[in-house]
Amino acid sequence: MPDRHGTDAAQGAAAGPGSAAPAPRIEFTFRWWGPQDPVPLAAFGQVPNVDTVVTSLGEVPVGEPWSAAAIAERQDVCAAAGLEWTVVESVGVHEAIKLAAPERDRYIDAYAVTLERLGAAGVRTVCYNFMPVFDWMRTDFDYRLPDGSRVTSYSQSDLDAIDLSRGLPRLPAWPQAYTAAELGALFERYAGVSDEEFLARYRYFVERVVPVAEGAGVRLAVHPDDPPWRLFGLPRIAKTAADLAALLACSDSPAHGLTFCTGSLGARGDADLPAMARRFAGRTHFVHLRNVRRRGPRDFHEVDHTRGAGDVDLVEVMAALLEGGFAGPLRPDHGRMIWGEEGVPGYGLYDRSLGLMYLQGVHDALTREGAGS
């Protein structure tokens, strides 16, 4: 039967004699920020070969279990736009878990309930991070490139100049803003926490949620630190290949894997991304492809997805992921804001669509197959 792109799925599957299910493939998808996202959900389905979407219930406070009804409602919104919700980005990890606070078990239980409900609803990939206090950090969300497009950027000297006694505003994807008093209290609780101790806290979390994910048919995908170095002296455990190996070593379960994010990891000059992609492909459950231009140590801005625009060679990364046998959801991460578009920084429709079409072309050239076949 023709699908909504007008192609015939049965033809694509072309099950010959003796062949079983079609081989697992890369699922090209997009992130949607929910009903408050200026990008209309249905727009993604007009991008060739996109049938699924990545989203999250960002309105639920971190630490509260997600209700089955709220999950079903978001699924319905996606289905009404012709898209299946396949990946959650993210289910936030409550700070009590990262602080090893006495109440952490309660929050771990709540996390497990959310995983069970997502699995029961058929949403099977969950991205999360284990960064202390903050989600991704930039010092400029409106950095102008010579062609007039706007991107996010990070400069260590600008970060060092931030006056924390004035608190921090809520940045895109952060669950909250921070007053100076809140920041002071949090930093005090992290004082002296080494990366080793923080990894032990991560292991504590993994040992409890991964068996639940496995039982629920959910694959957990931890996201690297963004940027991949220490901020404000806080511990950081997902910066490098060695870090990722240590995170993965916390559990051998197939439910415990990575979000392989080239923009996060590639902000470091010492990251060999193709080697990492090849090495971790089998444990990678979700891929973010993003390109950055490094201006110096701990100093970069984002660029478009094409080879040569920045320091991340997404052609080599795609080749390495394919060689490593990666199959699963992959999305273009952080595009530029172009053609006058306004929206969540990094998450406009236009440049991410250009990026995804480029990535599909790279994929098709490498595999001699069609991304949509």
- Which residues are designated catalytic? 223, 261, 288, 333-334, 347
Peptide bond into 90 cis (omega under 30): yes
User: Tokens for 280?
Assistant: 């971790």
Pick between residue 117 and residue 352 the one whose CB is nearest to ligand DNO. 352
Query: Distance of CA 159 to CAs 75, 204, 283, Å?
Result: 39, 31, 33
Contact 32, 356 (CB under 8 A): no
Interface with ligand DNO (CB under 6 A), residue from 49, 55, 86, 129: 129
90 near ligand DNO, judged by CB under 6 A: yes
346 near ligand DNO, judged by CB under 6 A: yes
Query: Distance of CA 64 to CAs 90, 110, 113, 119, 368, Å?
Result: 13, 6, 9, 17, 46
Q: How far is the CB of 110 from ligand DNO (least distance, A)?
A: 17
127 near ligand DNO, judged by CB under 6 A: yes
Interface with ligand DNO (CB under 6 A), residue from 112, 173, 271, 287: 173
Pick between residue 55 and residue 251 the one whose CB is nearest to ligand DNO. 55
286 near ligand DNO, judged by CB under 6 A: no
Q: Which stretch binds ligand DNO (CB under 6 A): 63-71, 126-134, 234-242, 244-252?
A: 126-134
Instruction: Map the footprint of ligand DNO across residues 216-235, applying CB under 6 A.
Output: 223, 226
User: Tokens for 107?
Assistant: 């929050």
Interface with ligand DNO (CB under 6 A), residue from 37, 64, 135, 316: 135
301 near ligand DNO, judged by CB under 6 A: no
Q: How many CB atoms lie within 10 A of CB 234?
A: 18
Pick between residue 25 and residue 230 the one whose CB is nearest to ligand DNO. 230
Q: Which stretch binds ligand DNO (CB under 6 A): 3-11, 71-79, 125-133, 304-312?
A: 125-133
Query: Distance of CA 26 to CAs 134, 237, 274, 316, 373, Å?
Result: 30, 28, 17, 16, 11
Interface with ligand DNO (CB under 6 A), residue from 27, 89, 243, 299: 89
Q: How far is the CB of 154 from ligand DNO (least distance, A)?
A: 12
243 near ligand DNO, judged by CB under 6 A: no
Binding site for ligand DNO (CB under 6 A): 89-90, 127-129, 135-136, 173, 223, 226, 346
